[in-house]
Structures are given as C-alpha cells and as structure tokens.
Structure 1
Amino acid sequence: MILLSFALIGINCGKGDDADAGKGISAVSDDKSQQDVLKIAIGSKDHTTLVAAVQAAGLVDSLANQGPFTVFAPTNDAFAKLPAGTVDDLLKPNQKDTLKNILEYHVVVGNLTEAILKSEFTGKDDELGMANGAHTKVTVKNGKTLINGATIIASIPATNGIIHVVDTVLLPQEKK
C-alpha cells in the first residue's frame, strides 16, 4: 500500500497582541512532508526496481531538480512482468542508453494530474509527448486512465510534480 504523507500546520493559539499576529503559523518542513518525485520513489517499498534503474541510468539528479515532472512509476510487480532477465540486462553498464530511453519514456515535463490527462489527452489524435521525444496514447477504460495500456493505480503529488503509479512498464515503440 502506498502511504501519502501530509504536512501538518501548527498554529499558535496563545494570547498575544497585534504585533504577534501571524507569527504562530508555520508549515512543517521535513523529509516526509516536502518530498520530490525521487524521494517519494526512494521511500516506496513498491518501487525499489525503479529506483535501482534510475540510479543505473544516471537520472537521479534529473528527477530531483525543480521540474515540474509527471512520472509514470511502474511498481516492482510491473517490472516482474517483463521477460526473465530483462531487468538484470538493462541494469548492466553497457545498457545505460537503452535504460535511460526507457525511463525517460515514463516522464513528461509538466505537472499533469489524472483529471488533466483524462480531459486533454484522450482524443483520437491526442498524444502525450514524453521526455525521450516519443509519444504515448492516453485512454480511459471503465473509468480508469491508461497510458499505452498501463493503468494508473494511484497518484501522489510531489514538490516538483506528480507521480502516477502504473501497473506496467512502458516500452518505447521502435521507430519505423
């Protein structure tokens, strides 16, 4: 299960004069309430394979920057659906460019909520441009949002975008 962390707001309820107005309100700033997409993935037991892949591809700094990013984050179970040996092969240093291309196919520059995906990218000719330069199709089936057939199973806001947890690894199509 994916747990979302919520920022707590502390309010000073003590008596004070007008000079103290507003001084008692602060937002908690800690590792749980202020997480970027990378920190959220690192903290998820369901995304250890994704984190290992991001590290092997050298994309850690990219996902930790300001963004905003929309990340379609496959779970460990999604990676397990790939043919045996695929993940191990992709994590090898000589496959870094291939791995980077696959991972960038899971990222959109911008903060696209599921509502935006459903309303703006589900037309017959509408495609979503991914960070690797390729495109995906967004469809809605039985009320669920799909990206090239991968179902969004949860959405988690981050300080630099949003993560949509998906049940399938997105694989870029070969150029014809």
Structure 2
Amino acid sequence: MRNLARLAALGAAAAMTLALSGCAEDADPAAPVAPDTMAPSTTMPATPSGDAMSGVTQTSDIYGPGCTEVPTEGEGSAQGMVDDPVGTAAGNNPLLSTLATAVAAANLGDTLNDTSASYTVFAPANSAFESLPPGTLDSLLADPSGQLTDILTYHVVPQRYDAQGLADAGTVATVQGESLTITGEPMSLTIDEQEQATVLCGNIPTANATVFVIDTVLMPPAA
C-alpha cells in the first residue's frame, strides 16, 4: 500500500531520551518526579521544557483542557504512555479507542509502532469521530484501503514536534503527502486552516512520537 510504504520510509531514526519520565541522573533534585497516579497538568509554561529541536516532551509538558479526561494511572495514563510506541499507547488510552480501531482496520499499527521512526500524531478523540456525518465512520472502516488510510496518514507527521515547534513551523508535511497549517500560540494551536481543529490535550510523549489529541477528524483535500 503506497501510504504504508511512504510512512515506513519517511520515519527518520531519532534517539529517544531515557529521561522522559523524569528519571535522568542529572535531573534537578528539587524538581518532583510525577508518580504514575498524578493527573497531567492542564497548563504549561510559555516555553515548553521539551527539546524544541527533536520535539521530545515530558509528562510535565502536557497541557490542554481535555487532559483531565486522561486516566491518572495504568497503561492509558500520561505516565503509562511514555514507554509505549504510539500505536500501542493510543490503543491503551480510552479517549482514543475509536482511533485505535481505525488504525487497526487500516493495518497501520505496526508502522506506527516502529521505534526507529519519529512522529508527531494529531490524534482525533472519540468525540471527533462521533461528530462525523452519520454512517461516515462505518463506511471508512468498511473500505480501509481507500479513504481511511489517506485520512489517518494525514494526521501523521514524520518528525517530532512539541507545541512550540509546531507554532514556529507554521506548516508541516504529513505522511499522506499534503501539508497542514498550524496557527496560534503554543497553548492555543489551531490545526489545519480548513478544519480548524483545536488541541484538547497536547505534548503527550510516547516512545516514538509526540501526540496532540484534537477535537476534529482532519480530511485531506483529496479525501
């Protein structure tokens, strides 16, 4: 499948810091380490503490009004997602169960779980899929090799960005082939000038991706 091939090819190898969960030996001893049961923050500093060049973030960088709905413990929690590749991490998060179903139908799970690649993933929440016209999701799932793959890969960027990096970039190329425009400040990003998607919970770190949960399913121009 052309999009799967493109997705696998475009993923550039990126070294993932082992300090994502706040365990680096040289970490500031005064800075508390968030336990697995700590809810993600709904605010973030004006300048994210994550590496702006690689887009790697920490759980302390997570922000957004929807973060309160992320589980506070277990594999689907912010801390639980850190060590899992993005396909697995999304599947463990109850906010993204519909997305996980779509990814499985399109056979994109293994590619998204490739830890030699680095991604930024705009992950539509379940509520975003529920807002599609009646029957749309069922139609897409019935023909996953068609529009579904194009739509899903339109949500994936083959490079890691944090919120500041996205705001600075302004435009990012997707695996699907089209580009997405990014406007606004890091804490109030708008994704895609046509769809006007907003971030419900952003800067979520996984083993190979930075995830932004969004409120809208993005439709590529060709879809």
Name the structure 1 match of 2:84: 35
- In 2, Cα distance between equivalents of 1:8 and 1:117: 23
| 2:204 is aligned with 1:154 | no
| 2:180 is aligned with 1:136 | yes
- In 1, Cα distance between equivalents of 2:132 and 2:114: 29
Name the structure 2 match of 1:27: none
- For residue 55 of structure 1, give the secondary structure of its aligned residue in structure 2: helix
Q: Is the 8 A contact 2:128 2:215 kept in 1?
A: yes
- In 2, Cα distance between equivalents of 1:56 and 1:134: 22
Q: Is the 8 A contact 1:70 1:163 kept in 2?
A: yes
- In 1, Cα distance between equivalents of 2:85 and 2:186: 31
Q: 124, 133, 148: which one pairs with 1:74?
A: 124
- In 1, Cα distance between equivalents of 2:222 and 2:106: 20
CA 1:138–1:52: 2 relative to 1, 3 Å: same
Matches within 5 A, 1:26-175: 32=80, 33-66=82-115, 67-92=117-142, 94-121=143-170, 127-140=171-184, 144-148=188-192, 149-155=196-202, 156-174=204-222
TM-score by length of 1: 0.75
TM-score by length of 2: 0.60
Q: Is the 8 A contact 1:107 1:131 kept in 2?
A: yes
Name the structure 2 match of 1:14: none
Q: Per-residue deviation at 1:98?
A: 1.2
Paired amino acid for 1:153:
L
Q: Is the 8 A contact 2:83 2:206 kept in 1?
A: yes
- In 2, Cα distance between equivalents of 1:140 and 1:8: 29
- In 1, Cα distance between equivalents of 2:199 and 2:178: 19
Provide structure 1 residue ranges, at least 5 long, that are not aligned to the other structure.
1-5, 12-30, 122-126
- In 1, Cα distance between equivalents of 2:94 and 2:188: 24
Provide structure 2 residue ranges, at least 5 long, that are not aligned to the other structure.
1-19, 26-74
CA 1:140–1:8: 2 relative to 1, 3 Å: closer
Could you list the runs of 4 or more consecutive aligned residues of structure 1 that deviate by over 6 angstroms after TM superposition? none
| Higher strand residue share | 1
Q: Is the 8 A contact 1:57 1:97 kept in 2?
A: no
Q: Is the 8 A contact 2:99 2:125 kept in 1?
A: yes
- In 2, Cα distance between equivalents of 1:80 and 1:68: 29
Q: How many residues align?
A: 145
Q: Deviations over 1:100-158 (max 9, x none)?
A: 0000000000111111011221xxxxx21100101111111795101111111212111
